[in-house]
Structure 1
Amino acid sequence: MAHYIGIAGTHSTGKTTFTQLLTEKALEAGLTVTRVGDIATECQKEGFGILKNHTFESTLWIMTAVINAELKAGLRHDLVIVDRPVQDALGYLEAALSSTDRQLSSCDREYLYGLARLHLPRYIANFKTVLDDNIALGPNRDEDREFRTLVDRTISQVHNELDINALQLTDEEATLLVGKISRSLSRASD
């Protein structure tokens, strides 16, 4: 049985670094592990808008593509690390709407948030990065620092609305989580 962990946050805030740390700890504990990520690039290749151009449709596409990728990865791995889980897509959408002075219909909003609420229990833990403007943007990243800050804030708002208790990206949290997963898998095999 696979365990899923979500890591949300605006770009260039440590998701990849933490994913690598978590992966190393999981492998040391004998777990099979994989990462699901970079769904937005696929979305853009399909012709949907991303970043400030996010729409209901692009967000739904990303959310369902993430869920699909999680399910596939869970067939072969003990731990699936989701770099940009469903709630992350909502944060980017909210930032796009705010920055371009657009709104969703209440029906579309309820649809997306309802999907997220139904899916969130699949994650045994959720992490959220903390934006540090002193850290340089990674290569090939959107350089709009104002939008980056807005995304950080809207992801936090989405976490609050969905009642997600996000954990800190620390070595200690990674160690505790890997131990919890190892114990769970050990009990399941008994």
Structure 2
Amino acid sequence: MTTPFRIGVLGTHSTGKTTLLKRIEMELRGHGIRAGRTGNFGKGAAEIGLPKMQRHTETSTEWIIARSIASEIELGGVEVVLADRAVHDALAYYTAALEFRGEPVDSAEVDRLRLLASTQTPKYGLLIATRLDPEVPVNKQHSYDPRYRALVDTHVHALLAEEKLDHLVVSSDSTSQNEAIQTAVEHALKAVGA
């Protein structure tokens, strides 16, 4: 069995990551490509009593990174893995949570988590990072702290720059979204030889 092509999406909450991946998945399936999505790690962390969002810790970060890695591997039999929250996303959420709480960064711990995340970098054929548009309203069912949400956006893009990770930035604009979908599909089709 060949290694699947991986597309990872990062970005702060409610910036269209899951919707974007669903659209990419539909396009790929329309081309006869077997694709599978990962995700919902925050919910999984909460179910086992780990903190999330502003309360994110090094333990919850490590669990989410490890679970993300395992979930991508568990998607056997697919040609394309669509990672809803590539592994570096959890690290950005953690460093944003530390800043939000005004807590000092434990450099050794962050370096350890960065190393763990970096082991997965070569597996991604394409990384897509959503960009927060504060003008787009958030679903009223969610009570997100706007300051934390903005911090996560800043930390995601800073981390990608610091790690020098090639990525495609996607805004909430429909043209940007459509271009990202087209790019992702083209990369995937080329990678699987379709």
User: What TM-score does the superposition give when structure 2 sets the normalisation length?
Assistant: 0.89
Q: Is the 8 A contact 1:9 1:84 kept in 2?
A: yes
Matching residue of 1:154: 155
Report the Cα offset of residue 173 of structure 1.
3.2
TM-score (norm 1): 0.91
The one-letter amino acid of 2:185's match is V
Secondary structure at the aligned position of 1:168 is classed as strand
In the alignment, structure 1 residue 79 sits paired with structure 2 residue 80: yes
**Contact 1:21-1:171 within 8 A present in 2 as well:** no
Cα distance in structure 1, aligned partners of 2:146 and 2:165: 25
Q: What is the SS of the residue equivalent to 1:30?
A: coil
- Counting matched residue pairs gives 186
C-alpha deviation, 1:139, in angstroms: 5.0
Listed one character per residue, the Cα deviations across residues 45-88 of structure 1 (whole Å, up to 9, x for unaligned) are: 11111111111111000000000000001x12111111111111
CA–CA distance in 2 between the matches of 1:123 and 1:140?
Answer: 32
Name the CA distance, whole Å, in 2 between partners of 1:110 and 1:142: 31
Q: Distance in 2 between matches of 1:86 and 1:24?
A: 23
Q: Give the structure 1 partner of residue 4 of structure 2.
A: 2
Structure 2 CA distance for aligned equivalents of residues 142 and 79 of structure 1: 33
Q: State the match for 1:26 in structure 2.
A: 28
| Aligned match for 2:186, one of 179, 183, 188 | 179
- 2:127 maps to what in 1? 126
Gap change, CA 1:126 and 1:112, over 3 Å in 2: same
2:173 aligned residue: none
How many angstroms does 1:27 deviate by?
Answer: 0.9
For 1:6, what is the secondary structure of its paired residue?
strand
Equivalent position SS for 1:42: helix
Root-mean-square deviation over aligned CA pairs: 1.6
Aligned equivalents of 1:166, 1:142: Cα separation in 2 = 29
Distance 1:32 1:62, change over 3 A: same
Counterparts of 1:142 and 1:95 in 2: how far apart (Å)? 17
- The C-alpha deviation readout for 1:71-123, integer Å capped at 9, x for no partner, is 001x1211111111111101110110001122343321111001111111111
1:48–1:158 distance in 2 versus 1, CA, 3 Å: same
Structure 1's unaligned 5+ residue stretches are: none
List structure 1 segments (4+ residues) > 3 angstroms apart after TM superposition.
Answer: none
Amino acid at match of 1:8: L
Counterpart of 1:40 in structure 2 is 42
Say which is worse superposed, 176-185 or 37-46, in terms of deviation: 176-185
Aligned to 1:93: 94
